[in-house]
Amino acid sequence: MGGVFKKVFVLLDFSLRGNEKRKCGNAKGHQRYLFLYISSNFVSKIACKKIEANIYMVLLIIVIMAEAIKIGIVGLSGRMGQEIYGVLQGCREAIFVCGCSSTQGSMEQVFEKSDVVIDFSSPEAFFTACTFAKKYQKPLVSGTTGFSSQQEQQIKQISVDIVLVMAANMSFGVNLFFKFTKQMAQALKSYPQYDAEIIETHHINKKDAPSGTAITLGKKVAEGLGQNFEEVAKYGRNLSDGIKKQGEIGFSSIRSGGIIGEHTLIFASKDDRIELTHRAYNRTIFAQGAVDLVVRVFNTQNIANGLYEYSDFL
């Protein structure tokens, strides 16, 4: 259906531009002009027709609904599910069609009715979602965190049969942070006097610790330094641990109040300290990032089954 509808959509949208209305002349209060163009780059105008505002609105709604990407949400009642639902209300490219949570809705229906499914739930629900993604061959974009390393291996195997995009953090700013972290670690590879620590702070209802974002930051540090992450990660410290080992990447988690999410990466030597910090002021950055990602995933031609990350679609 894409081609025809896309053109009409662009044309209707374009008809709102004052410039073009003036060119057509006689622009009056409630009327809109429908421009028809042969090509999508607006080169040739072949017709200009005056239509009533109400017809214009009906046409616009029909076209938007026919063209929009149908999104399903697993974890609809949750904090992130609700944010994504809100972002979709103001989105032209994608619309919400179906959702489920642990007590409401059917996950199978979510996959049946959607073009792409967004999951922000729990590791258990995520694995159920993967089985439906395989059954209905629908791409799954997941922001769920808190997987064990054994589950991460399982995820790699599952992704052979589906298009699976996973991002421990959906915000654009944090994904830049990931990129800079790897670059900084690469630059510090020949300076072993600097050691790495990661501190993350979240609200008291967060279930996993350290956060998925903190773990991804740690993996980027290890990649940049050429280390095996599993060997150098140190989660929490207690009295019996003694002094920090050479090359160790330490993680500290703070849980307090309603803090949305803060991450700090420290590279410190005896003489100085380099710090990178990201602070989320609201959940909309994750929800908007998730919706933008879904649109990019859906619009990617001939995408093969496999496991993808946010940066694959930047």
Q: Point out the residues that are catalytic.
A: 202, 206
Q: How far is the CB of 205 from ligand NAD (least distance, A)?
A: 7
Q: What DSSP state is assigned to residue 303?
A: P
Within 13 Å of residue 299, how many CA atoms lie on the same side as its CB?
14
Q: Exposed e or buried b for every residue in 56-83, given b needs 16+ CB within 10 A?
A: beebbeebbeebbbbbbbbbbbbebbbb
Binding of residue 146 to ligand NAD (CB under 6 A): yes
Q: Residue 182 CB, nearest distance to ligand NAD (Å)?
A: 19
Strands 163-166 and 306-309: parallel
- What does each C-alpha distance from 97 to 58, 88, 226, 262 come to in angstroms? 19, 10, 44, 32
Give the residue among 145, 157, 151, 149 at the shortest CA–CA distance from 253: 145
> Which range binds ligand NAD by CB under 6 A, 75-83, 180-188, 267-275, 298-306?
75-83
We find the least distance from the C-beta atom of residue 80 to ligand NAD, in angstroms, to be: 3
Total chain residues near ligand NAD (CB under 6 A): 27
Q: Which is nearer to ligand NAD, 31 or 102 (by Cβ)?
A: 102
Residue 125 touches ligand NAD, criterion: CB under 6 A: yes
Residue 114 in contact with ligand NAD, rule: CB under 6 A: no
> What are the backbone angles phi and psi of residue 293, rounded to the nearest 5°?
-65, -45
Select the residue interacting with ligand NAD from 286, 298, 308, 313 (CB under 6 A): 286
Cβ-based neighbours of 299, under 8 Å, separated by 6 or more: none
Q: Please tell me whether residue 77 binds ligand NAD under the rule CB under 6 A.
A: yes
Question: Does residue 121 bind ligand NAD (CB under 6 A)?
Answer: yes
Three-state DSSP class for residue 140: strand
* Look-up of token digits 């809705």: 105
Q: Is 122 in the site for ligand NAD (CB under 6 A)?
A: yes
Q: Is 72 in the site for ligand NAD (CB under 6 A)?
A: no
Residue among 69 and 141 whose Cβ is closer to ligand NAD: 141
Residue nearest ligand NAD, Cβ-based = 78
Q: Measured between alpha carbons, how far is residue 287 from residues 86, 121, 237, 293, 306 in Å?
A: 9, 13, 33, 10, 23
CA separation (Å) from 176 to 122, 266, 278?
Answer: 25, 16, 10
Is 233 a binding residue for ligand NAD by CB under 6 A? The answer is no
Give the range of 161-169, 191-199, 245-253, 264-272 binding ligand NAD by CB under 6 A.
Answer: 161-169
253 binds ligand NAD (CB under 6 A): no
**Looking at 8, 163, 170, 196, which residue binds ligand NAD (CB under 6 A)?**
170
> Is position 169 an interface residue for ligand NAD (rule: CB under 6 A)?
yes
- Cα 99 to Cα 120: distance, rounded to the nearest angstrom: 11
Rule CB under 6 A: say whether 80 interacts with ligand NAD.
yes
Q: Which residue has the tokens 């258990």?
A: 124
Burial of 25: CB neighbours in 10 Å, binned 0-12, 13-18, 19+? exposed
Query: Of residues 70, 79, 113, 296, which one binds ligand NAD by CB under 6 A?
Result: 79
Q: Given the complex with ligand NAD, which of 80 and 199 has the nearer CB atom? A: 80
Min dist CB 35 to ligand NAD, Å, is 40
Point out which residues bind ligand NAD (CB under 6 A). Answer: 74-81, 100-102, 107, 120-122, 124-125, 143-146, 167-170, 208, 286
